[in-house]
Amino acid sequence: MGGPMGGPGGPMGGPPMGGPMGGPPMGGPQMPPPMGPPPGVPGFSPSYVPPAAAAGPAGGMRRCPSCGSDVPPTFRFCGTCGFRMDEHTLRLARGTIEMGLVGDLSSARLRDELIALLEEGELDHSIPRLAELGADRAIHPHLAADDEAVDVLRRLTALRDRYGLAIPSWRLGLAALARRLPPDEVYEWLQRLKVRRRDAERIAAAVTVGPRLVERLQKGAEPAEVVALAEPFAPDAPLFALALADLPPLHAYFERLRDVHLEVSGADLADLGLDESPRVGEILAEVRRRKLNGELEGRESELEAAREMIEQP
């Protein structure tokens, strides 16, 4: 059967498969590598040697996962079909497409390759290429490595940098790729990838809670309500919601509301005569609600509001 580019031969289409890990074919004389890509395929760089090629035998060929052709180690692009030879994309494609053993591959290996891909920074071509190869659906049937994922990830990254949030790029990338997973599948998939529990919870919250924040906050909300909705799932879920929809309440949350804290504490309420009880937390929560909504400013106004609530029967 021919390959996706119409070539004959090996299991990926194109020329017959070479030796292990995409090396030169076994037996027979070898043709010298071409001196440059064919017309219309940019990217030949004699000085560029990918890490995998540099670590292997001199002049070792790589196999294009798109059409199956052998590609010289100095080529950035496949000379036959123009596929960009990203090392992380290649390894993912090789593990999920050529081997055809996705279910048997190490989950940690897939996780590490995805993280490496999402951290490399050149996402405009590498993420869509996963979809073209079918690698995204091989990893999970609802994973979406498309142009929309690139756009969402670009907005997430810009917003993260704008507000100085300590969220790694790979975590934002997994949320963008997993944005179409049903809620009951997101956390299960992340567990299978052996993503650390804390990170998995943040990604799952972004994918499941983020769209609901958009729906709720499009109707408008007081500052205290914005904090009540966003804070339990911060920072990933409200950031993901803001990447989906440019909502002023969420900008306000990241610009100032998340940094609003009380100047009084439970010890101050004890000095006012309130014994330790659940009411301490209730009064502090109400004082903060009023402060978020602009009703209180400064320690003295907070103490006065707490005193009035304590004196109420």
Q: What is the pLDDT of residues 51-69, one digit of tens each?
A: 433 333 334 676 665 666 7
- Structural domain harbouring 148: 103-189
C-alpha 32: how far from its chain's center? 41
183 shares a domain with 114: yes
In a domain, 23, yes or no: no
With beta carbons less than 8 A apart as the criterion, state whether 109 and 127 touch. Answer: no
In a domain, 13, yes or no: no
Closest of 69, 76, 141 to residue 103, by C-alpha: 141
In a domain, 217, yes or no: yes
| 3-state class (DSSP) for residue 64 | coil
In a domain, 80, yes or no: yes
DSSP H or E run through 63: strand 62-63
What average pLDDT is seen over the chain?
A: 77
115 shares a domain with 181: yes
In a domain, 98, yes or no: no
DSSP states of 288-310 as a string? Answer: HHHHHTTS--SHHHHHHHHHHHH
At 114-132, the pLDDT tens digits run 888 788 767 777 787 777 7
How high is the pLDDT of residue 84? Answer: 61
How high is the pLDDT of residue 240? Answer: 98
Amino acid at 5: M
| 3-state class (DSSP) for residue 75 | strand
In a domain, 159, yes or no: yes
Q: How many domains does the chain have?
A: 4
CB atoms closer than 10 angstroms to residue 46: 10
How high is the pLDDT of residue 56? Answer: 37
Question: The tokens 């950031």 sit on which residue?
Answer: 239
129 shares a domain with 73: no
With beta carbons less than 8 A apart as the criterion, state whether 86 and 126 touch. Answer: yes
In a domain, 196, yes or no: no
How high is the pLDDT of residue 18? Answer: 43
How high is the pLDDT of residue 68? Answer: 67
- Rounded Cα–Cα distance for residues 59 and 53 (Å): 8
Last residue of some domain: 235, 255, 275?
255
Question: The tokens 């602009």 sit on which residue?
Answer: 294
Amino acid at 262: L
165 shares a domain with 134: yes
129 shares a domain with 167: yes
62-63 vs 70-71, strand pairing mode:
antiparallel
172 shares a domain with 152: yes
Question: The tokens 């030949």 sit on which residue?
Answer: 44
Cis omega before residue 248 (within 30°)? no
How high is the pLDDT of residue 62? Answer: 66
- Rounded Cα–Cα distance for residues 50 and 47 (Å): 10
Residues of the chain with pLDDT under 70: 1-60, 62-68, 73-79, 81-106, 121, 133, 313
Q: Counting beta carbons within 10 angstroms of the beta carbon of residue 259, is it exposed (0 to 12), middle (13 to 18) or buried (19 or more)? A: exposed
114 shares a domain with 63: no
118 shares a domain with 69: no
DSSP H or E run through 149: helix 147-163
Q: Is the pTM of this model over 0.85?
A: no
Task: Give the helix ranges, DSSP H, for 50-122.
Answer: 51-55, 87-93, 107-119
In a domain, 230, yes or no: yes
Q: Counting beta carbons within 10 angstroms of the beta carbon of residue 75, is it exposed (0 to 12), middle (13 to 18) or buried (19 or more)? A: buried
281 shares a domain with 248: no
Last residue of some domain: 85, 119, 152?
85
- Rounded Cα–Cα distance for residues 100 and 103 (Å): 9
Amino acid at 206: A
